[in-house]
A and B are shown apart, each in its own frame.
Chain A
């Protein structure tokens, strides 16, 4: 690996979801909001919790726990909504908590290890080991695309 690549790093937002840590590049994150009133939208996928009023913009909300088919938990004080912008979409992700912004050196990112099973596997673009922490990098396009 060349020197230049080693120096490259990406800034990510780290959030928690059922004891695991996930990461999304800062460039896709519009902001982190506390939980607010969500208006249910009927006849949508189960993981679509509804829409919120994000400073005048109606923004859809996806519960990542339900999206990944993880056990559902009650929303708590630490629950956050991470507003993601991808192409021309703006969507909020409900996560257990969002705590960190860190730099991940490109060299620390590895492709997704071959594990059989869990649904979330297909939403993962890679994993990164940073100081004993294992961060799961999300593949946003796939998270936001409807399941086939």
Chain B
């Protein structure tokens, strides 16, 4: 029961730690000698191990533990970082991710990882000179196992001023220890006689409940020396090992510095004084202390950047509920507005108007609350590219720009797979292999740029590669052979249109079908997904220079502005985002061209679409009107004029799906509920423009 309560938090934090692991591993790959990075990974792994053990996910804890051993050996320079080792560690992280996902999906996080475990073990043992003895000393590295909050830090610095020593003590109980809680109690008794315990990890309650493995950590201030403390504690039976290290106060004085600059001045001064005892740590801790100090600066700047951010975690479900409730309100607002226009009562109108304004603000806030940085999707790509470049023997550098760009959560959820597809496509079909690249006079390493940015009410995501580009002739030949276009059509097609042929269904230009990008079923799925999100995709490409796939996505999906129009007695909604303008035309202005009615709209020939015919609206009597109401809509650069009976006006509406029974209805993208409680259908302009 208690565990359930923390499960969500556990999953979230595990994901974060794993993400941190992957990121740092990628960094490590670039700078294999940077042991500070190893320290970072070790820390994440260590925390993860602790959490998963507490939560009872033993497989997870076990694998993390094995991985940690390897990392530890690297950190202590017993093993040198090689690509092979990194591969195994990457694999373990992958396994860990799967386990966490399994737990998140209600599973028990069990997974067969024996081969990875065996590999980890081999690395750990294979290259270790003095396995057992060193390992025991090295394992309980006390490096920042305990995190101190500002209060604890103050206590430690102040006691240092008064001549106390601050120690971090790691106590390891024997593996066969039966009365762990009792030993803990004895240890604490000894400690409390000589000084004050500031903090322990796990917490005292957990220690008393025996919720720890063999080892626990205590932060302790005392006047007794480190050696004496260690000897005293070793007297407790069933204690295997005690390591006493001096708490490095410089470490948190730097943290402090970022948090409150004023305090920092005094603290640093103190830290300098306090640094003197740092030079006399216990005999045992000394060899370990060095890498700790080296690792310190890197750690402080990274971990404490977001100090100023006050955030809370909110369950996504609650945000969804909030959104749903707000949508109900939007519908009611519509109803109120129509009532107030009918009643035409001054005060009522005023109140409704004010309410609408407040609701507009509320809507902005709710929508921004649901915004998630695209980083959440992007952050899995570096690892993917790394894997792909190995599989394909290509050298690829991935550049991510604008990862902080925010998008609605629903869009984020959907956009992952299409992006994976496009990136795989760029890597597989776009970037050439090193030999080919050299022959073309390009650098061996190909570059894929993933870029996200805001523009107006849209977010753009671009995938740019400096690869082979799209071969116009090859694409055309293929499209013609597959019957996607005819020979005649192909003459009049622009380069852009030809490029976009690769998005047509049943198209694949790869001469060899590879595992990496699809079998010709891929890119059209990407296109459909993006269009179903209300976005669109376009391709720019220059042969031998590279291609840019550009995806345009709406900021939000659930509430949109529409123009309501009437046809006979039916009301339809046309999304404002595709409307250019409305106009009223005379019958005489309509011309015929190739059996298609067109009008001349600001010098452009625009085809007319009679919605009445498309939607087969039943008419009582046929009218021949002198004037027609036309909504000019666009898709990309193409225009069309939708002919309707009359315009009703602009309104904010809540997008609703038609459910799972009615799917794929031509030219209808969804429905909405109007102020009068009736359902109106939303016109899908993209389907009406060919």
Chain A interface (Cβ within 8 Å of chain B)? Answer: 37, 39-44, 48, 50-53, 56-60, 87-91, 144
Nearest CB on A from B505, distance (A): 21
Q: Is the CB of A58 within 8 A of B617?
A: no
| CB neighbours of B677 from chain A (8 A) | 37, 53
Report the stretch among B315-323, B343-351, B652-660 that lies at the interface. Answer: B652-660
Contact A60 B665 (CB under 8 A): no
Question: Are B673 and A53 touching (Cβ within 8 A)?
Answer: yes
B671: chain A residues at CB < 8 Å are 39, 51, 58
A38 CB, nearest partner CB in chain B, Å: 8
Residues from 555 to 579 in B contacting A, C-beta threshold 8 Å = 570
Q: B615: shortest Cβ distance to chain A, in Å? A: 4
Given contacts A41-B668, A42-B668, contact A58 B658 (CB under 8 A): yes
Chain B residues whose CB sits within 8 angstroms of the CB of A43 once the complex forms:
615-616, 665-667
CB–CB A60/B661 < 8 A: yes
Report Cα–Cα, A144/B660, bound state, in Å. Answer: 11
Question: A42-B614, A42-B668, A58-B673 are known contacts. Are A52 and B662 too (CB-CB below 8 A)?
Answer: no
A selection of 23 A-B contacts at a CB cut-off of 8 Å is A39-B680, A41-B662, A41-B681, A42-B615, A42-B616, A42-B617, A42-B666, A42-B668, A43-B615, A43-B616, A51-B671, A53-B673, A53-B677, A57-B656, A58-B656, A58-B659, A58-B671, A59-B659, A60-B658, A60-B662, A89-B660, A90-B659, A90-B661
Chain A residues, CB < 8 A from B673:
53, 56, 58
* B642-683 to A contact mask, C-beta < 8 Å, 1/0: 000000000000001111111001111001010001111100
Distance from A116 Cβ to chain B, minimum over Cβ atoms (Å): 30
Rounded to whole Å, the gap between the CB of A34 and the closest CB of chain B is 14
B: interface residue count bin: 20 to 34
Q: Is B331 part of the binding interface, using a Cβ–Cβ cutoff of 8 Å?
A: yes
Contact A48:B662 (CB < 8 A) given known A58-B656, A58-B671:
yes
**Counting CB contacts under 8 A, is B328 at the interface?**
yes
Supplied contacts A40-B570, A89-B660, 4 more A-B pairs, CB within 8 Å: A51-B658, A59-B659, A60-B659, A90-B661
CB neighbours (8 Å) of A37 from chain B are 677-679
Partner of A39, one of B570, B617, B659, B666: B570
Cα(A42)–Cα(B570), bound, Å: 11
> In the complex the two chains form, is B665's CB within 8 Å of A53's CB?
no
Whole-angstrom CA separation of A89 from B657 in the bound complex: 12
Q: Which of B328, B614, B666, B679 is close to A58, meaning CB atoms less than 8 Å apart?
A: B679
Interface string of B611-638 (1 = CB under 8 A from A): 0001111000000000000000000000
B residues in contact (CB < 8 Å) with A: 327-328, 331, 570, 614-617, 656-662, 665-668, 671, 673, 677-681
CB A123 to nearest CB in B, in angstroms, measures 16
Assess the B681–A39 pair: CB atoms within 8 A: yes
The residues of B that contact A50 with a CB separation of less than 8 Å are 679
Closest 5 CB pairs of A and B: A42-B615, A39-B679, A58-B671, A58-B656, A89-B661
> Could you tell me if A44 and B659 are in contact, using CB atoms closer than 8 angstroms?
no
* Cβ contacts under 8 Å, B661 to chain A: 60, 89-91, 144
Nearest A residue to B324 via CB reads A56
- Whole-angstrom distance between the Cβ of A74 and the nearest chain B Cβ: 16
Residues of B with C-beta under 8 A to A87: 660
Kindly provide the distance from the CB of A27 to the nearest chain B CB, expressed in whole angstroms. 19
Q: List the B side residues contacting A89 at CB < 8 Å.
A: 659-661
Chain B residues within 8 Å of A57, by CB: 656, 659
Chain A residues, Cβ within 8 Å of B328: 56
Contacts of A90 in B (CB 8 A): 659, 661
Nearest chain-A residue to B618 (Cβ)? A40
A28 to B5, CA, bound (A): 34
- What CA separation (Å) do A43 and B668 show in the bound complex? 10
Q: Which B residues lie within 8 Å of A42 (CB)?
A: 614-617, 665-668, 681
- B662 contact set on A, CB distance < 8 A: 41, 44, 48, 51, 60
Nearest-neighbor residue (CB-CB) of A84 within chain B: B661
Residues of chain B within 8 A of A53, CB atoms compared: 673, 677-679
Bound CA span A88–B679, Å: 21
Q: How far is the CB of A44 from chain B (nearest CB, A)?
A: 6
Closest CB in chain B relative to A115 CB, distance in Å = 29
Nearest neighbor of A52 in chain B, beta-carbon distance = B679
Residue on A with the closest CB to B677? A53
Q: Which residues of B contact A91 (CB under 8 A)?
A: 659, 661
Q: Is the CB of A56 within 8 A of B331?
A: yes
Question: Which residue of chain A is the closest to B571 with respect to CB atoms?
Answer: A39
* Residues in chain B near residue A144, CB distance under 8 A: 661
Interfacial chain A residues near B681, Cβ < 8 Å: 39, 41-42, 51
Assembly CA distance A42 to B681 (angstroms): 10
| Cα of A44 to Cα of B615 in the assembled complex, Å | 10
B665–A41 contact, CB under 8 A?
yes
Contacts of A39 in B (CB 8 A): 570, 671, 678-681
Q: Which residue of A lies closest to B331 (CB)?
A: A56
How far does the Cβ of B329 sit from chain A's closest Cβ, in whole Å? 11
A51-B614 CB under 8 A given contacts A44-B662, A89-B660: no
- Distance (Å) between the CB of B108 and the closest chain A CB? 27
